[in-house]
Chain A
């Protein structure tokens, strides 16, 4: 505890403007992140909140390495951070069975070779963690409900015991009752394994209980960051107040 797992310094991310006119010269670049800096300690849960378009997903993509077109520095203590996506309907390959999907991270593991039995054993462990019956291994994603799929997504992310997990709006597409279950699951996993979690959401109600720290973003900039309790009790930026109001939390 206490050691830095992730340090982002002065991160700028640009996107190419796709809407290019026929004769206009160079591509215009849109800046999605403007000098974002923050640090995260091991075992922390950091919530990143903001409206769609504020750059929170861009930040996640830069950290996990899907988007490499950035300037600035991202220091990570461990390799291969994992990510859980928002839409559990598009983040599981529809042509593969759940068991196959869970085994895949082990099959492509370059650090060590997993035998068939080891893989099976690990999958069973994970199925227990994500509280799904083993019979589901034989099913296809389309035969699962949204909440079950999101559990599988979390399971896939956990297969190789990552030290940092990024959850990008993992519950926004789910019903409220299911949301509560998934949040409970994430909280459990955090307690049990001490994984550092970055939790991205547009809803400040959702992140309150799970997060130690919260960072509010708007238009690619960090508006406010601090301990969750402090920010909720005593928000500094107007935008934070607006978000809190919208979530029905009046400070």
Chain B
């Protein structure tokens, strides 16, 4: 399999207080083209931090990052801002947990979906942009996309908003989609739909997906490979089926035990 993203020895340290705090230690990740990898761990385990670093969104001065994040022959940690910008939202996209606050409340849905195109592909005409945005909204399963295009975030339900987020992230046809707990704030029925949607995107477009969650059962539905994190460290990784069948680390066992089991 062609490797599209190669993260080695990623360390993230916060220097906000007198003592530096390590958020992520020795993080390694190889992401193949068209692969879905899950990162599982509790809040504070460093899973989101690693993802944000990959997306190039950890740029405060108080954060020290070492290691390498290789994408298309460029190290995202050391490359200049302009190169990083050209990847963000176009080649690497990210969707967040809270669809309520990740959309701008005063802009209509169309604007938010088109934003990435507007930034990265100025050559595309307005009508063309709109056409693509509506196509994208349809692709993420929003019926009557023309109507949704003109609506505002508060008029949509949580599930619809998350679909809009995915549409906005996918419009530039990125090579990597990072989904940071995209279903945690949603109902189970909607969760299942969003997982299906991510599967469909992966299948049809060949987008590689990094799926972050605290719920191992959700990860097992979607990912071939899983990385389990605890307190900034990777404690276990391997194929999902394998990890489920023979968990080696104590913490993984705990995660599996936490999945409510129902024998009828």
A and B, direct touch (CB closer than 8 Å): yes
Residues of A within 8 A of B (CB): 51-53, 146, 175-180, 183, 202-206, 208-209, 229, 232-233, 242-243, 245-249, 251
- CB pair A177–B188 under 8 Å, yes or no, is no
- CB pair B258–A176 under 8 Å, yes or no, is yes
- CB pair B258–A245 under 8 Å, yes or no, is no
| Most chain A CB neighbours (cut-off 10 Å) among B43, B187, B255, B257 | B187
Complex Cα gap A175–B42 (Å): 6
- CB pair B217–A248 under 8 Å, yes or no, is yes
Task: Report B-chain residues with C-beta under 8 Å of the C-beta of A251.
Answer: 264
Nearest chain B CB to A185 CB, angstrom units:
14
Contacts A176-B216, A246-B192; A202 near B262 (Cβ below 8 A): no
Query: Does residue B259 face the partner (Cβ distance < 8 Å to A)?
Result: yes
Contact with A along B154-178 (1 / 0, CB 8 A): 0001100000000000000000000
Query: Does residue B214 face the partner (Cβ distance < 8 Å to A)?
Result: yes
- CB pair A245–B260 under 8 Å, yes or no, is no
Nearest chain B CB to A236 CB, angstrom units:
15
Q: Chain B: interface secondary structure? A: helix
Task: Report A-chain residues with C-beta under 8 Å of the C-beta of B221.
Answer: 248
Task: Report B-chain residues with C-beta under 8 Å of the C-beta of A206.
Answer: 260
Nearest chain B CB to A86 CB, angstrom units:
11
Complex Cα gap A67–B27 (Å): 50
Nearest chain B CB to A91 CB, angstrom units:
17
- CB pair A203–B188 under 8 Å, yes or no, is yes
- CB pair A208–B260 under 8 Å, yes or no, is yes
Contact with A along B181-222 (1 / 0, CB 8 A): 000000111111000000000000000000000111100010
- CB pair A246–B262 under 8 Å, yes or no, is no
- CB pair B214–A242 under 8 Å, yes or no, is no
- CB pair A146–B260 under 8 Å, yes or no, is no
Query: Does residue B254 face the partner (Cβ distance < 8 Å to A)?
Result: yes
- CB pair A176–B188 under 8 Å, yes or no, is no
Apart from A52-B187, A178-B42, A248-B217: 18 A-B pairs, beta carbons within 8 A: A51-B187, A51-B189, A52-B158, A175-B214, A176-B215, A176-B258, A177-B42, A180-B258, A183-B260, A204-B188, A205-B260, A206-B260, A232-B264, A233-B264, A242-B189, A245-B192, A247-B188, A249-B262
Task: Report A-chain residues with C-beta under 8 Å of the C-beta of B158.
Answer: 52
Which of B187, B192, B259, B262 contacts A176 (CB under 8 A)? B259
Task: Report B-chain residues with C-beta under 8 Å of the C-beta of A51.
Answer: 187, 189-190
- CB pair B257–A180 under 8 Å, yes or no, is yes
- CB pair A177–B255 under 8 Å, yes or no, is yes
Task: Report A-chain residues with C-beta under 8 Å of the C-beta of B187.
Answer: 51-52, 202-203, 246
Complex Cα gap A205–B191 (Å): 13
Nearest chain A CB to B101 CB, angstrom units:
14
Which of A146, A175, A179, A246 contacts B188 (CB under 8 A)? A246
Task: Report B-chain residues with C-beta under 8 Å of the C-beta of A233.
Answer: 264
Nearest chain A CB to B192 CB, angstrom units:
4
| Most chain A CB neighbours (cut-off 10 Å) among B187, B221, B258, B260 | B260
Nearest chain A CB to B88 CB, angstrom units:
29
Nearest chain A CB to B141 CB, angstrom units:
15
Complex Cα gap A247–B221 (Å): 12
| Most chain A CB neighbours (cut-off 10 Å) among B42, B216, B217 | B42
Task: Report A-chain residues with C-beta under 8 Å of the C-beta of B255.
Answer: 176-177
